[in-house]
Amino acid sequence: MSGDLFAPKVPEEIANRRPLADRLRPKSLAEVTGQPHLTGEDGALRRMIDSGSLGSMIFWGPPGTGKTTVARLLSGEAGLAFEQISAIFSGVADLKKVFETARLRRMDGRQTLLFVDEIHRFNRAQQDSFLPVMEDGTVILVGATTENPSFELNAALLSRARVLTFRSHDEESLSELLIRAEQAEGKPLPLDEDARASLIRMADGDGRAVLTLAEEVWRAAREGEVFDTTGLTQIVQRRAPVYDKAQDGHYNLISALHKSVRGSDPDAALYYLARMFDAGEDPLYLGRRLVRMAVEDIGLADPQALVVCNAAKDAYDYLGSPEGELAFAQACVYLATAPKSNAVYTAFKAATRAAKENGSLLPPKHILNAPTKLMKGEGYGEGYRYDHDEPDAFSGQDYFPEKMGRQTFYDPPERGFERDIRKRLDWWAKLRKERNPK
């Protein structure tokens, strides 16, 4: 929620036409809901104000959690001039103008709080332009972003600003906002208990959204009408979940899906898979991720896992949406309930590391082909034993470069199909010692 505490007064009949979310903006930090860790009595911002040591900050959090409003309230309570720009609409010329105004104001003994909305949209050079004015105290920078600052902001900027995290509203704080809205409107929200709970869930942690949805309900309701969940859905349609396929929402959910599969929890895995489908994620991206889970977390503990995932992709190609999504759900459950092993994944990483560390070592000559007399003269192929002609089809020869010596990368656990592989490897190791005692 955001607003302008210092805007000129307008006639009451015009003010009442403003959106409900705008009319209910907090007038003090004490009125801010949903962020007690920041604005409560023992909150980080409250302590900064009380100590008189307000510094530059980055407000990181989802939409509708109060970042802009809190920045304005901070300037008021700290006695600072407030300047606001948006990285979407501003460029270098706008920044220079704001900085010059702040310098002149500072000469008159007043400091400036510069609020930069969507600060992550500024490029590296634009972000660097804040550094001198932050260091010399010309401005106290408060940047707001919905994206992870670690990825989107320069390290130099982050080193000079404290990152404060704004949390999505929980059901309690959204319920409180609805109560305030009912008090302001002087009438109850025309929803039954279940529909009210549904409206809160539709807001998806966004305080501005819950008030906007409530306003839509009041506009739609006829005299004495009370909506159930079905009626609510028809009125407001359905608000898409907050989810950016290129940013944190995308990575958070795919991480949750992957870890739920790895943790053998099919119910949690299905939930996150459903959330990503519901948010419009590319099904083929999900299919690729399921294949990744099959080879990374199940591996040879269940060789069918990879087959099932590839079959799910083919089924989706054949059926399309929404029927094909069930094939991915089936693959997801299969992976979550399969025995787990990362032995191949770990072995390949170790083999890759060994390949890089040991350079271009020549394989042992006995396993090199000798198509020419010269190569035969060099001993290529000499002493090679054809395994199919050996007892148990196993010669036990060493195949690593001589300078490297025999290595062990693959160490299968006693789980699933790899239990049988383990027995085979142990047996071959025993034969190798017996047939090559040196």
Same domain for 30 and 107: yes
Query: Is residue 304 a contact partner of residue 345, using CB atoms and an 8 Å limit?
Result: no
The domain tally of the chain equals: 4
Same domain for 418 and 373: yes
Give the pTM: 0.64
In a domain, 349, yes or no: no
Same domain for 159 and 39: yes
Instruction: Report how far Cα 401 is from the mean position of its chain's Cα atoms.
Output: 44
Same domain for 313 and 190: no
Closest CA to 71 of 37, 117, 111, 105: 117
What pLDDT, on the 0 to 100 scale, is given for residue 203?
Answer: 87
Query: Is residue 415 a contact partner of residue 301, using CB atoms and an 8 Å limit?
Result: yes
In a domain, 7, yes or no: no
| Segment-wise mean pLDDT, segments of 10 residues, the chain, 438 residues | 48 66 90 92 90 90 92 92 91 90 91 94 91 92 91 90 92 94 94 91 89 93 90 76 61 92 95 89 90 96 96 92 92 96 94 88 88 87 91 90 90 93 93 81
First-residue to last-residue Cα distance in the chain: 76
Query: In degrees, to the nearest 5, what angle opens at C-alpha 140 toward C-alphas 108 and 93?
Result: 80
d(CA 114, CA 126): 15
User: What CATH number is given to the structural domain containing 386?
Assistant: 1.10.3710
In a domain, 5, yes or no: no
What pLDDT, on the 0 to 100 scale, is given for residue 2?
Answer: 41
What pLDDT, on the 0 to 100 scale, is given for residue 1?
Answer: 40
In a domain, 243, yes or no: no
In a domain, 345, yes or no: no
Which of 337, 368, 402 lies at the terminal end of a domain, its last residue? 337
User: What CATH number is given to the structural domain containing 131?
Assistant: 3.40.50.300
Which DSSP string do the residues of 222-251 spell out, in sequence order?
PTT--B-HHHHHHHH--PPPS--TTSHHHH
User: What CATH number is given to the structural domain containing 329?
Assistant: 1.20.272.10
User: Domain limits at 321?
Assistant: 248-337
What pLDDT, on the 0 to 100 scale, is given for residue 204?
Answer: 83
Same domain for 158 and 30: yes
